[in-house]
Amino acid sequence: MVARVKLPKKQRRRKTIKLYLRVLMFSFVFLGSGIWLYEESGKLLEYTKPVNTTTIQVYDMERNILMSMDLEEYLVGVLAAEMPASFHLSALQAQAVAARTFAMSRIKNPSMKVQTFHPEAQITTSPEICQAWISEEEQRRRWGNSYEIYRQKVAEAVQTTCGQVLTWQGELAEALYHASCGGGNTEAAANVWGNHVPYLVSVACNHPQDKHSQEETVFTWQEFGQKLQLENEVSVGNFGDFISVLSRTAAKHVEKIRVGNRIMTGGQLRSLLGLKSSQFTYQIKEDSIIFKTEGYGHGVGMCQHGADHYAKQGYDYQQILAYYYPGTVVEKW
């Protein structure tokens, strides 16, 4: 049995103050002027809504409702949806800045496509139109027993970068990002959409293979023809010559491809077939065509798996952002 020694009053008070400071340090995560109060175990006890901060009108595509949210609170839901919370904190912080930049540009420049869902909407929860977002309920479901720890980590990434955005020559940058480039190089915006953006250029991205590195998608010729609306052109006997890659970019994405008599970009074919990326090869079989993709997403801007890799190598979030968006500046707006 361990004997309990009672400390003198002064020492007891000092110990209490130290403990209080420690609890303060580990327990509070400030979001804007809102306060997230956690136990040291990571359990979320209380959240006080911030005042006088930027609000964003978010259209929830699942529930078909418009939500008025604090921007920083919204970003916690974006990070939860867009990047695995198990990633390094620096990668999550870089993601927070990129996601905030995108949200701020949607607030500043309203999108007509977004407003078709609701006239007051500034952003939607659709990753196809904007960036993904999930509710606290969905976060609990997705993270299970790790909910408290992950929620705290994601909130910390948002809080420690509070108000920070990525700019290019004083204007909000287009902070595009994607899940994985496949491990090699990111893609230049010019190769995907045809317009050159000085900071959305191809950079080396030497991260190890990840779950998106090699994926196979099989289509029967009938399915393939239907998806491309080329049913009449696809017939037995012409499969071998039916499709051919005309050019690839330096990052190995298909730039131009001929399908039947149609010439399209790799991105267009990717979108029609719902492929993970335009970095693909294909194999023609008698009754089907097999696509092997590398990476996930358009490949432009920050590669999330690469960000996690470089974070583990010691890069902080500013270095990660400077690497993937060369020439941009992180600043508080």
Maximum C-alpha span of the chain? 93
- CA gap 281, 291 in Å, rounded: 6
E-only strand ranges, the chain: 28-31, 34-38, 44-48, 55-60, 65-70, 123-124, 164-168, 171-172, 177-178, 184-185, 204-205, 215-220, 243-248, 254-259, 262-265, 280-284, 288-293, 302-303, 329-332
Distance in Å, CB of 291 to Zn ion, minimum: 20
The 204-233 site mask, x for binding Zn ion (CB under 5 A), equals: -x----------------------------
Q: What are phi and psi of 229, to 5 degrees?
A: 55, 45
Distance in Å, CB of 86 to Zn ion, minimum: 17
The 272-311 site mask, x for binding Zn ion (CB under 5 A), equals: -------------------------------x--x-----
DSSP state at residue 261: T
* Region 49-108 residues binding Zn ion, contact defined as CB under 5 A: none
- Cβ proximity to Zn ion: between 114 and 181 the closer is 181
- CA gap 119, 117 in Å, rounded: 7
- Cβ proximity to Zn ion: between 188 and 205 the closer is 205
- Cβ proximity to Zn ion: between 201 and 303 the closer is 303
Calculate helix-pair angle for 317-324, 89-108, nearest 10 degrees: 60
Q: Which of 182, 176, 178 is nearest to 197 (CA)?
A: 176
Stretch of residues binding Zn ion (CB under 5 A), selected from 4-12, 180-188, 212-220, 224-232: 180-188
- Cβ proximity to Zn ion: between 92 and 303 the closer is 303
- Cβ proximity to Zn ion: between 181 and 275 the closer is 181
Stretch of residues binding Zn ion (CB under 5 A), selected from 75-83, 84-92, 178-186, 267-275: 178-186
Contact set with Zn ion (CB under 5 A): 181, 205, 303, 306
